[in-house]
Chains A and B, each alone.
Chain A
Amino acid sequence: MSDKGFSRPQARRNTRRNVAIFLVLITSVMFLADRQQTSFLASGRYSADNVAMQFLGFLASPIRGVGSIGRQYFERSRAHQDNKRLKDEVARLRKYENQVLDLEMRVNRFEEILGMDNSADIPIERIVARAVSETNGPFVHTALINAGINKGVRSGHAVMSVDGLYGHVVRAGRTSSRILLLNDLSSRISVMSQRSQSRAILVGNNSTRPKLDYISADADWRIGDRVVTSGDGGVLPRGLPIGHVDIVDEKNPNVKLFTQGKPVDWVWVLPYKPTPPPQGEGELDPETLVENEAENEVAQP
Chain B
Amino acid sequence: MTRDVTVYRLRSVTLAFQGLAGGLLLVFIALINLDMGAFKTGFIFLPVAIVYLWPVRASYTWSLICIFLLGIFYDFASNGPLGLWTLCYLALFIVLGGGARTTIRFPAAFLWFLLSMSFVCCLAMLLGRFALGQWPNGLEIAKSMLTTAVVFPLIFWIRRTSLIIFGGIEDPKVAI
- Residue numbers of A with Cβ under 8 A of B are 15-16, 19-20, 23-24, 27-28, 30-31, 33-35, 40-41, 44-45, 47-49, 51-52, 55-56, 59-60, 63-64, 66-67, 69-71, 73-75, 133-140, 142, 178, 185, 205-207, 261, 263
Contact = CB atoms under 8 A, between A and B. Distances in A.
Given A19-B65, A59-B28, A137 B38 contact: no
A16 B82 CA distance: 24
B175 interface: no
B17 interface: no
Given A15-B61, A23-B65, A44-B76, A52 B34 contact: no
A24 B73 contact: no
B42 interface: yes
Contact of A139 (B29, B71, B136): B136
B134 to A, nearest CB: 7
Given A27-B87, A45-B76, A137 B144 contact: yes
B138 interface: yes
A53 to B, nearest CB: 9
Contacts of B132: 139, 185, 206
Contacts of A34: 81-83, 131
A133 B81 contact: no
Nearest to B87: A27
B39 A134 contact: no
Contact of B136 (A15, A23, A48, A138): A138
Nearest to A53: B77
B34 A178 contact: no
Contact of A136 (B40, B81, B125): B40
B35 A64 contact: yes
A137 B35 contact: no
Contacts of A74: 36-38
A140 to B, nearest CB: 5
27 contacts: A15-B61, A16-B60, A23-B64, A27-B68, A31-B83, A31-B87, A31-B127, A35-B131, A44-B72, A45-B79, A49-B77, A55-B28, A59-B28, A67-B35, A67-B36, A70-B39, A133-B31, A134-B33, A135-B79, A136-B33, A137-B80, A138-B136, A139-B124, A139-B131, A140-B78, A140-B80, A261-B38
A137 B144 CA distance: 8
Contact of B32 (A20, A63, A178): A63
A135 B33 contact: yes
Contacts of B20: none
Interface of B: 28-29, 31-42, 44, 60-61, 64-65, 68, 71-73, 76-84, 86-87, 90-91, 94, 124-125, 127-128, 130-132, 134, 136-138, 140-141, 144
Interface of B is mostly: helix
Contacts of A263: 35
A178 B86 CA distance: 21
Contacts of B77: 48-49, 51-52
B76 A137 contact: no
A52 B31 contact: yes
Given A75-B37, A138-B128, A16 B80 contact: no
A21 to B, nearest CB: 10
Contact of A135 (B60, B71, B78, B134): B78
B110 to A, nearest CB: 22
A28 B128 CA distance: 13
Contacts of B81: 31, 34-35, 139
Contacts of A55: 28
Chain B CB within 10 Å — which of A34, A67, A138 has the most?
A: A138
Chain A CB within 10 Å — which of B28, B35, B41, B86 has the most?
A: B35
Minimum-distance CB pairs A-B, first 6: A31-B83, A70-B36, A48-B76, A34-B82, A138-B136, A74-B37
Given A44-B76, A48-B77, A56-B31, A19 B64 contact: yes
